[in-house]
């Protein structure tokens, strides 16, 4: 899929748990539910497709909304680890914004930071508590790429579409 407008993300997948999209070398993953093996396989396929479109590399920006499980199931972790291993040369970085206030959200960020430190990451990975610093970090991964404000605008468009989809499906939107 190709984006139709300057700030229009190309939607790659959307269901009750997640929404993925691409825009100018940024692979957006917004999570409102837990990651399934099917979703992980779709993410791997899309990442592979994006590497053909963006040979200079892709940066992943993940947004995990409150209520998403702390750590994906082992089967999902294995699939995602395989994707990172298979395409390590094309991954420029991973920013993960784990949203939410209080102890549970802070614990998720701490656990994910610890996992990132202990695991051999094929590219820089950083955990954030908000969208804005995550977008700024993503923008820094590009030498001549989108600005953090552009990335935030695209993310906002994507989340708006995802929330509308969730409402239409009868799922309450956290936004």
How far apart are alpha carbons 130 and 23 in whole angstroms?
20
pLDDT over threshold 60, residue 2: no
How far apart are alpha carbons 27 and 3 in whole angstroms?
12
Domain of 69, CATH number, reads 3.30.750.24
Which strands sit side by side in the sheet containing 125-128, from one edge to the other?
Answer: 10-14, 18-23, 26-31, 58-64, 91-98, 125-128
Q: Are residues 29 and 36 in contact, defined by beta-carbon separation less than 8 angstroms?
A: no
Number of structural domains (the chain) is 1
For residue 30, tell me if it sits in a domain.
Answer: yes
pLDDT at 27: 94
For residue 26, tell me if it sits in a domain.
Answer: yes
Question: pLDDT digit string (tens) for 122-139?
Answer: 678 888 999 999 999 999
% of the chain at pLDDT higher than 70:
87
For residue 2, tell me if it sits in a domain.
Answer: no
pLDDT at 3: 40
pLDDT at 135: 97
- Which residues in 26-42 are b (16+ Cβ under 10 Å) and which e? bbbbbbbbbbbeebbeb
For residue 1, tell me if it sits in a domain.
Answer: no
The helix/strand/coil state of 101 is: coil
Mean pLDDT estimate for the chain: 84
For residue 175, tell me if it sits in a domain.
Answer: no
For residue 173, tell me if it sits in a domain.
Answer: no
For residue 52, tell me if it sits in a domain.
Answer: yes
Question: pLDDT digit string (tens) for 69-113?
Answer: 767 777 887 777 777 777 677 888 889 998 888 877 777 777 776
For residue 147, tell me if it sits in a domain.
Answer: yes
pTM for this model (two decimals): 0.85
Structural domain harbouring 76: 10-168
How far apart are alpha carbons 85 and 92 in whole angstroms?
13
């Amino acid at each position: 899929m190709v984006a139709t407008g300057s700030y229009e993300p190309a939607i790659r997948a959307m269901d009750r748990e997640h929404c993925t999209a691409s825009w100018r070398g940024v692979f957006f993953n917004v999570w409102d539910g837990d990651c399934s093996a099917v979703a992980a396989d779709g993410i791997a396929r899309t990442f592979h497709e994006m590497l053909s479109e963006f040979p200079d590399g892709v940066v992943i920006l993940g947004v995990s909304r409150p209520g998403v499980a702390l750590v994906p199931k082992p089967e999902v972790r294995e699939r995602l680890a395989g994707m990172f291993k298979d395409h390590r040369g094309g991954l420029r970085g991973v920013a993960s914004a784990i949203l939410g206030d209080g102890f549970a959200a802070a614990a998720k960020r701490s656990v994910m930071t610890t996992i990132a430190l202990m695991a051999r990451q094929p590219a820089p990975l950083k955990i954030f508590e908000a969208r804005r610093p995550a977008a700024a970090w993503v923008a820094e991964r590009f030498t001549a790429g989108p600005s953090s404000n552009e990335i935030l605008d695209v993310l906002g468009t994507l989340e708006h579409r995802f929330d509308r989809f969730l409402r239409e499906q009868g799922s309450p939107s956290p936004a």
